[in-house]
Structure 1
Amino acid sequence: MKTSSSIRRLIDAFCLFFLATAAQAFATVTVSSPANNTTTASTTVQYVASGSSSTCSAGVSAMGIYVDNALVYQVAGNTINQAVTLQPGMHYTVVEEWDYCGGASTTPINITVTSGSNLNGVSVSSPVTGSTVASPVAYVATAGSTSCAAGIAAMGIYVNNALAYDVSGSSLNTRLTLQPGFYNTVVEAWDYCGGAYTSVVNINVTASNGSVTVTSPTNGSTVASPVQYVATATAAGSCAQGVAAMGVYANNSLVYHVNGSSLNASIALNSGINNTVVQEWDYCGGASTTPINITVSSGSTLNGVAVTSPAAGGTVTSPVKFVATAGSTICAEGIAAMGIYINNGLVYQ
């Protein structure tokens, strides 16, 4: 005979399942490309999707693409048309929409990229050529060569025929600060055999008069990890709808994202100099940033579990994104594994 506590847990689990299912029934993500369980020989996969929400009169605020549980692309609005570069192998990808009322829905797309795939040239995931973007502009690209066995030596970005950024290796992920206006940009790769490959990305950069106020941490400070980020934002005066979302970048990678005009998050960062940026995105397509350069002390050691998302006691939508790190000062070998329990049951490890 089941105990009362066991029965209660079953009831709780059923209620959570029912509420999540009911909430998502009124919001949908329709993916027209690629099809679920697709097998492709190309490392560049075109995602075309749209989102809708019948329970939120304001509609869909943004959409994004996750690859193996990592957010690789996000755009304001209710449509996506974006090329994403995937490495050979099996990938669990998800297209998600977020509405203005705090709701969200997803559609999973499982993709297998065959091992014979070989990128020849430059593939730019962000920005999309012909798009209108806010500064700083995120550039994400990879390159490969089938004609040079030694591979790619370096990559760079030209802005109006002037080299603005370069990096060694076959991938780049950086953000360029550009003034409002039209730009002819080119992402170029050079291989070890003297060959070169290019991809033209023409963009229009919009102006934004919004602002981001960061109260913690202080720019130029030395802090211990995890670092507490506290910030608020306002949108440009021309955007009556206000701020849609805020995020924190660490060394050009988005490490935290939240809907609304404020954030308060504890973020685990590696020891050393960290170039971080707190950014806001408004409902009109504008964005503004505040750079926060900090030094994380070498003696910083996470002892225990630091959960970045979700916040304890918070109200969230399903699926719930869990982001956490752990460390130990008493065990020299470090952390062996992590897991998530829901109502005393292990659901992820």
Structure 2
Amino acid sequence: MGGKRHFRVWRGDESGGELQDYQVEVNEGEVVLDVIHRLQATDAPDLACRWNCKAGKCGSCSMEINGMPKLGCMTRMSTFEENETVTVTPLRTFPIIRDLVTDVSFNYEKARETPAFAPPADLAPGEYRMQQVDVERSQEFRKCIECFLCQNTCHVVRDHEENKQAFAGPRYFIRAAELDMHPLDAKTDRKEYAQAEQGLGFCNITKCCTEVCPEHIKITDNAIIPMKERVVDRRYDPLVWLGSKIFRRPMTETVGHGETSVLGAVHAQPKGGVHSHAGGSHDPHAEAEAQRGVNWHRQVPKPTVPPVDEHGRLPLTELTFDRPAAPSPFGDDVTFPMPVEHLNYAHPEQDEKKH
């Protein structure tokens, strides 16, 4: 129902702030972000709030509503009692910039530290083949919109600032799990890297990250717990230990000058303090391999200009254009199916002869 509602919104910056009370008009069917926009238009024009799509797909409007990490654009006002005070505060885990805007660069730093997909060395772009079941296995993790609500609610970094350097967080655990499940990923130490460099052992699987995920990704059950189980199998399973003794494969071995490998995870001291973009391994070879995850030589079709008339205006319908429909975004000189050398991925059966 419409009418005035009581809001308490945190106002301030990195030097400090406080909750301020507002009476804001609320209409039927609105979400919290609508009310924040109305508040900016009426009583608080200088209120800072980050948002973009207003459709629950960009993850920009992350905030804490009545103490619960949520997306402002996906939290309906009808879920609150009419006489209930709605308290809106910024994400508590990250540094305040101003009002409801926080500095989430911690997450981007962890993203750069995560080794990228490394395709097999014996396959060229366009030769990758995957079973559909392998695609579906990791598809859930690709739904992540990077709202960082899971990162915010994870008490490992929420309550312990000193853990941030050694802990990547649930968002990047699902990235590690996705790549570990990928049948074409050439890096075989994803589990060990998650344990040694991303701080997988810090997580005690309280499932708080799963509870706040707006995409309903089962972060704990489908990513973190399986990764923990695989680490335990390799590191503590007595049969694996016995096999390492029989086949003379030590759990920790020297792999180069100043480097050691723990269950396949490479650790090297960075030279000159430069951090490898391939991850915490600081391995130049790993960085080079990480860059192979994209076919940089793919021929990308040139964009075409929009179909405008002699006055420079876009046509209202196809009837006003001199050709049926609009020009192809791929360009007029592109034929389909596109040649294999223009693709990063190809269908498994595209090379089979047609009957």
TM class by smaller structure: under 0.3
**Higher helix fraction: Structure 1 or Structure 2?**
2
**Higher strand fraction: Structure 1 or Structure 2?**
1
TM-score by length of 1: 0.23
TM-score by length of 2: 0.22
Structure showing greater radius of gyration is: 2
Considering Cα pairs closer than 8 Å and 6+ residues apart, tell me whether 1 or 2 has the greater RCO. Answer: 2
